[in-house]
Structure 1
Amino acid sequence: MSLFDDDFYSSRVSRRKSRWLQEDARQSKVLRSKSNWSTMRVAVLSSTISAAAAALIFGTLFYHGGGSSDKAVPTASAVTATQTADPYEKTITAAAKVRPMVVSVINEQYGVSGFDGSLDSDSGAMEDQLQQAGIGSGVIFEKEDGKALVVTNYHVIAGAERVQVAMIDGTSRVATIVGSDQITDLAVLQIDDDGIGEVAEFGDSSKLRNGEWVMAIGSPLGLDDSLTMGIISKTTRVIPVSLNQDGNYDWEQEVIQIDASINQGNSGGPLIDLDGHVVGINSMKIADLGVEGVGFAIPIDNAKPVIDSLIKYGVVKRPYLGVYTLDLDQYLAQQALTKPKDSLDSPQTGVDGSIVVPDSSNGGDAETSDAVIDDSGIIIPDDVKDGVIVLEAVGPAQEAGLQFNDLIVKLDKTPIGSTMELRKYLYDHKKIGDSIEITYYRDGEKQTAKLKLSEKSKDDD
């Protein structure tokens, strides 16, 4: 038995076929010779006809798009091009699209001193001469009315007396600082747009995926127009940052972690995807012995509103409380290092050196009799483990009555354990003009104050 029951698909000669051959024998020899085909020839002919019919039907449907007559058939050359395109060409195309818009940003200052703190006398540098203090990168993203705008990092232009922008063709021009923001580490510069053609296009960093290929363009170590490539190691990473570079973390930066090489001078340059869109601003790396391939970029979605604010106002407008603070845990750590080992067994002393004896006349109030009094006059209740100490109160805080050595423990109903938490609560949950309630301890007694948040001016920095 064949694989098919239907005689049409079988290679055997059926009874009907046998009868047809017997009847055909009565016909003339001429006709018989024309129709006396072998089984193989019949099979070949059937296969050819079937294939032609299938090709005709498929071609008709494909050409008309299943009934739609306005769709053209893709040519063979187009299909071949799609199938044989080199995927690595995308990196070359994307880089070529953005590289002309990437610039070197040169920070110039007066009397730049050497590593030992002395002036560089060998080069004849004088205190009244501008010298290169640092170099970073930037990218041109907007052009209008004869001016072009460049985004870079705040730390690239910090302290600059003059900023120079070096173009890819080797020419340079003086830049004006439109605005800068230390918190987000972003700055916007303005230059003349002479000779500048296209500008970089911002992408969508929210669509990035772990493992996606990206490229960093900039001037690492002063080597302009350098390109490095890697993948997205983590689309969202929160990194603690010391804004004043004093080793104390007072802000958290949301960044993209990448393994593309980031070196000194890459800061401020663009991180691009394989479509040539800017998806981040390269900002920092972990520079530690044995650490490689851990770099960070500011997501462009986070940078856009900051850039817009810098263009419009020159600053990022944020609510201002008006306190300079020290974290309680940092203060206690400092006290532990400076106090003698036997201080726990010695009586507590006040600011004037007199012995402080807990007052029992108040009925054993826990906030005073159980408080720790140190030699700076701060009284810290035993049940208070976190907070920030006011070093100076100005503006709204001063008007609300806050003083030196007040210990802030809450903003509204939210516990505050560090300067970072205080700043993030203000910037993430409050606006200029909002009211806020502050809970704090003064001389071991809990108090509250209410105030209205104002706008921080440049004079308040």
Structure 2
Amino acid sequence: MSLFDDDFYSTRVSRRAREDGRRDWRFGGRGGWRRWRGEGGLRPVHLAFISSMVSALGAVLLFGLIFGFGRGGGGSGAVVSVAGVSSADTAERIVQAASRVEPAVVSIINEQMLPAGGRFFRPEKDRDPDEELTLQQASLGSGVIFRKANGKANIITNYHVVEDADQVKAVLASGEVREAEIVGKDQITDLAVLEIDGAGIETVAAIGDSRQLRNGETVITIGNPLGLNNSLTMGIVSKSRRIIPVSLAQNGIYDWEQEVIQISAPINQGNSGGALVNLSGEVVGINSMKVADFGVEGVGFAIPMHNAMPVVEQLLDLGYVPRPYLGVYTLDLEQYWEQQVYEEWLGAEEDGEEGGDAAEEDDLKLPEDVKRGVIVLEAVGPAKKAGLKFNDVIVKLDDQPIGSTMELRKYLYGSKKIGEKVKVSYYRGGKLETVTVELAEKIDEEEEE
């Protein structure tokens, strides 16, 4: 039985063809072979004709294999063109892309003043205040050399790679260790820029347009996972644009959102700050994080370069990213209600009474329909100057409802500028009030707005 249902693709001889003297399968029908062969075999003219036909057919097939059939045209041409990209070609592109970027990827060593045994073996409260501290390696990460000027080379890495560092070192692809200076860092975007001596550095990574990435596109990660210098992993772009919640304080409370590229290539400890590379050998992202949960594999994230480079330029120019600053330490109202429920339950367990005294200590005095907002724990700077106080509950900035610290940050950073004024609507003692605050410039890394 044929693999095809259509007789056009079948090698079977139809009944009609047999009844018609097999005219479709023999040159000239009955006796046709005799007329072509003659009495002594094929004539020279016939041999020449057949030879010419075979040569012409071979030339057409060879031309098609080299240049592609119907490459500029319709449906079947497109299929042949895609099939013409061999796995060998893709493998060679991966090798070439990695070779272009790999020399520009460095290892980053975060060194901190720590007691003997390191901070991870003994809580700070249990340390002897007179104990001698020494400079020790606290963590490892990766970085990418992206610029060389005035005898210096600049490196992009993650904020969390150099966080709390007393000294930073960069290990080049050659194995040479160089002192690195932190030019600037930004916790919100998890980016930092370092500077090292540029002598002998020949390779600077090319920056690509991450907006051109497509789902399913092959990408490479280059970094320093688990302390293994310049390791390569490969995967695909699972999602070219993904918005994920981020806990800036690493306390499980999401207070920011980050746009990232989701990839299937593994990102292990030490890979943060390394390069996400397309098959053209361009850096399209900075590896940042992964989902570290039981049973989860191949879910990594990188910061897209079209978002990273404006931040990098500001870090190079100013050492920080200027943002509008309201000046409040906050707690989400929803989180406050959850704490109240827990304290009531705990009080009931301890006292054997329903609710205890927790409800009586609630002095927010909010209307029953107010369920979302931001509680001011402390007002400083512009907010204090405008009159905001402890336990004020912010529910709106200008005409934008505010239900969480994340929403407050997103509105300020996305819609306002330094020096502009913002109208703050808040509840105090159960009464809705408004105040106008002039936004200042925030230049530190404090967890406040």
Q: Return closer, same or farther for 1:295/1:241 CA change in 2, 3 Å cut-off.
A: same
SS at match of 1:379: coil
Alpha carbons of 1:43 and 1:136: their partners in 2 closer, same or farther (altered >3 Å)? same
Per-residue Cα deviation, 1:1-55 (whole angstroms, up to 9, x for no partner):
99xxxxxx9999xxxxxxxxxxxxxxxxxxxxxxxx9995444555667899999
Offset at residue 201 of structure 1 (A): 0.5
Contact 2:146 2:154 in 1 (8 A): yes
Q: Provide the TM-score with structure 1 as the length reference.
A: 0.76
Partner Cα separation in structure 2 for residue 46 and residue 459 of structure 1: 85
Mapping of residues 32-431 of structure 1, within 5 Å: 40-45=43-48, 86-111=89-114, 113-117=118-122, 127-339=132-344, 340-341=347-348, 374-431=360-417
TM-superposed deviation, 1:202:
0.7
Could you report, residue by residue, the CA deviation over 1:421-449 in whole angstroms, capped at 9, with x for unpaired residues? 10011111111122211111000000111
Q: Cα deviation per residue 1:309-358 (whole Å; 9 max; x = unaligned)? A: 11111111111111111000101111111124598788x89xxxxxxxxx
How far did 1:153 drift?
0.3
* Shift in Å, 1:207: 1.1
Q: Which amino acid aligns with 2:152?
A: K
Q: Secondary structure at the match of 1:404?
A: coil
Instruction: Decide whether aligned partners of structure 1 residues 274 and 377 sit closer, same or farther in structure 2, where only a CA change above 3 A counts.
Output: same
Counterpart AA for 1:169: S
2:145–2:156 CA contact under 8 A, matched in 1: yes
Q: What's the offset of the Cα at 1:136?
A: 0.4
After superposition, the Cα gap between the structure-2 partners of 1:84 and 1:298, relative to the gap in structure 1 and judged at 3 Å, is closer
Q: Distance in 2 between matches of 1:231 and 1:211?
A: 5
Question: SS at the partner of 1:87?
Answer: helix
Partner amino acid, structure 2, of 1:251: W
CA spacing shift, 1:52–1:255, aligned 2, 3 Å: closer
Larger Rg: 1
Amino acid in the other structure paired with 1:457: I
| Inter-CA distance 48–190: structure 2 relative to 1 (3 Å threshold) | same
- Matching residue's letter, 1:161: D
What percent of counterpart residues are identical?
55
Alignment CA distance shift 1:264-1:52 (3 Å) = closer
- 1:110·1:127 contact (CA, 8 Å) conserved in 2? no
What is the CA deviation profile of residues 146-203 of structure 1, one whole-angstrom value per residue up to 9, with x for unaligned ones?
0000000000000011101111111111111000000000000000011100200111
Structure 1 residues 428 and 374: alpha-carbon distance in aligned structure 2, compared to 1, 3 A threshold: farther
1:363 maps to none
Give the 3 Å change call, closer, same or farther, for CA 39–188 of structure 1 in structure 2: same
Amino acid at match of 2:257: E
Instruction: Report how far residue 84 of structure 1 moved.
Output: 9.8
**Alignment match, 1:30:** none
> TM-score if structure 2 supplies the norm length?
0.78
Match of 1:66 in 2: none
- Which amino acid is 1:131 matched to? Q
Give the superposed CA RMSD: 3.5
Q: Secondary structure at the match of 1:196?
A: coil
Q: Match for 2:299: what amino acid? A: V
CA shift for structure 1 position 376:
4.3
Summarize the Cα distance change of 1:344–1:433 in structure 2 as closer, same or farther, 3 Å threshold: farther
Query: What runs of 5+ residues in structure 2 fail to find an aligned partner?
Result: 1-19, 22-26, 31-39, 61-83, 125-130
Change in 2 beyond 3 A, CA 1:150/1:374: farther
Is the Cα contact below 8 Å between 1:281 and 1:298 reproduced in 2?
A: yes
SS of residue matched to 2:207: coil
| Residues 127 and 456 (structure 1), Cα distance of their counterparts in 2 relative to 1, 3 Å cut | same
Q: Secondary structure at the match of 2:311?
A: helix
* SS at structure 2 position matched to 1:403: coil
Give per-residue Cα distances to partners, 1:203-260, cap 9 Å, x unaligned. 1111111111111111111111111111111112211111111121111111111111
2:321·2:443 contact (CA, 8 Å) conserved in 1?
A: no
Residue matched to 1:356: none
Task: Describe the SS at the equivalent of 1:291.
Answer: coil
